[in-house]
Structure 1
């Protein structure tokens, strides 16, 4: 489904105007989160290593990490359609797996460590949990405060102030 959403957004059956919003997202510049993840395929269920970039409520993936303004994503997940993201401990051969569920499917990813898995889950969940009308600057500020709080005073967001 995520791949089919991408094909739809990029014009395979959708008007070009619907895909133009992707031109305004600078996924190559200061992403909220970026790194290597293994992703289970939509049809074959084979695992593939991809470079993922989280930016403005969208999770893009690429074949390599050399992402710039001319890069073309291999796919995108619109996180507004996300119902849940959580650890997936029952995935065989993938110690640090997590799942992302949308109304149409559940997708599986695997990080290289428990810390990376938690960082991805938290980076995906935080914008989804923000109250309606919250700006991206406010979300980024909250993320910065939370990260400072993890090192300085546990989970207290005010600890980094």
Structure 2
């Protein structure tokens, strides 16, 4: 299973975090490459304590990775879209497999499994409108699980990189 896909069978569990843990997470969200000594100083704790806490947060699965923020246009993928996918009623037993297949397709950034009218929302970044059209036609429209798709272009987006907002 690709690293960015969570197993839908695994239930999330809440980990008890104290204010220092929350501060460490906020600082790491703002700068995942921050040096441990700097992180410790900003959190007001010893570097050894900081390292122990960060490793604990990793081992508990609170911190799942450290990632680069990439300019998709600079990588040749300036066009982003959200594609809503509704499955056939008969496809319910193949949801997990279908989700893994979607996540492995070229250009897919995120796959969201939803409650409501649509079953999935796919966030994709591609080179141009033809590539987007081909993605929908070649990978979604031909899939026996798919009943309907609806594509929305993303003009711009703003993210909130805080867990406490």
Q: Which has the higher contact order (CA 8 A, sep 6+)?
A: 2
Same fold (TM over 0.5): no
Greater strand fraction, Structure 1 or Structure 2:
1
What is the TM-score with the length of structure 1 in the denominator?
0.24
What is the TM-score with the length of structure 2 in the denominator?
0.24
